[in-house]
Amino acid sequence: MRHLRRKLTLRAHDEQIVLVKRKQERIEHVWMKAFLWALHLPHYPGLRTCFNF
């Protein structure tokens, strides 16, 4: 069984975000959230990704 890192740290436009991969979440979904965050960050400076309440 292969274990993947659960936390991914991304830096873009002088900002940093840490994304945590959940148990049932595919790594592709985590990467998609990271890339979309970086893409839209210049237009929406306070942008956040999904978070738990």
DSSP alpha helices (H): ranges in 9-49?
Answer: 27-40
Predicted local confidence at residue 1, as pLDDT: 46
**Domain limits at 20?**
1-53
Q: Is the model's pTM score more than 0.85? A: no
Predicted local confidence at residue 23, as pLDDT: 86
Say whether pLDDT at 49 is over 80.
Answer: no
- CA distance linking residue 10 with residue 3, whole number of Å: 20
Question: For residue range 10-47, what is the model confidence (pLDDT) as tens digits?
Answer: 899 898 988 888 889 898 988 998 899 899 989 988 87
Say whether pLDDT at 51 is over 80.
Answer: no
State both tokens at 53.
């309440």
Domain count, the chain: 1
Predicted local confidence at residue 2, as pLDDT: 57
